[in-house]
Amino acid sequence: MQNKKMIDMIKIDKYYGDFHVLKDIDFNVKQGEIVVVCGPSGSGKSTLIRCINGLEEIDSGDILVDGVNIWESKKNLQDIRAEVGMVFQHFNLFPHLTITENITIAQTLVKNASKEEAATTAIELLKKVKLEDKATAYPADLSGGQKQRVAIARSLAMKPKVLLFDEPTSALDPETIGDVLEVMKELARENYTIVCVTHEMGFAKEVGNRIVFMDHGTIVEENTPDEFFNNPKSPRAKQFLNEILSH
């Protein structure tokens, strides 16, 4: 099943008013593949992944997740949202709930898990992200990196078919970035299907199976990390790498 397409975006166009943010995008991800999407700010990267789970509506084209066309019906869209985990730049945790409650709430509401079952899953996942000692804490008690690891645990609690990461480390202090990337590397080893928008080129090089480089709403280049970093094909990718790697 390794060649099964988990995500298939076909001829996607997306506008914000007159601004053409995604232009005729064809993009697919196979089961178990880790695709890193990079490019300058404003290139359409975050919009691309927000379209995959229907957080952004498209103007034309088709998006299939595990063979299901997400915009064909409201039910399809709801089903897909339960099966596609999303980790945001700013965590989006509920401040009035404990860390355990943040992880259990969607399991009980969306997946109809019992409270006991959801709590057991939450503790297992907190161990996985090395935060079991924070089970009864509140988000305000955690550092940014810890909050992001909780957000990852919360996504995993839904047993997603696909995990989407939207610049998961860009709001973090440099010291805490490593802990978050470590958790993501672990997920990569466990064969999750992952799409990650990031500026962390070291992570992209080490973990990605494929790099997708975007600029001005188009996919300019796709390649293996080795080829992309050592032998970029497009002048735009060369310029981007020179700028980002010289810092």
pLDDT along the chain (247 residues), means of 10: 84 95 95 94 93 93 93 87 89 93 90 90 94 95 94 93 92 87 89 92 90 96 95 93 79
What H or E segment, with its residue span, contains residue 170?
A: none
Query: Does the domain spanning 5-245 belong to CATH 3.30.200.20?
Result: no
Q: Quick one: pLDDT at residue 81? A: 84
In 160-221, where does DSSP find H-type helix? 174-189, 201-207
Radius of gyration of the chain (CA): 18
Nearest one of 163, 182, 215 to 35, comparing CA atoms: 163
The token pair at 133 is 């000692």
Distances (CA, A) of 83 to 25, 136, 231: 23, 27, 36
Is residue 69 helix, strand or coil?
A: strand
Q: Angle formed by the axes of helices 144-157 and 115-128, to 10°? A: 130
Residue 186: what residue type?
A: E
Q: Quick one: pLDDT at residue 73? A: 86
Nearest one of 72, 68, 19, 69 to 47, comparing CA atoms: 19
The answer to pTM > 0.95 is no
Q: How far apart are the first and last CA of the chain?
A: 41
Q: Quick one: pLDDT at residue 64? A: 94
Is residue 42 helix, strand or coil?
A: coil
Q: Could you tell me if 42 and 214 are in contact, meaning their C-beta atoms sit under 8 angstroms apart?
A: no
Q: Please tell me the distance from the alpha carbon of residue 113 to that of residue 123, in angstroms, as a whole number.
A: 15
Q: Quick one: pLDDT at residue 2? A: 59
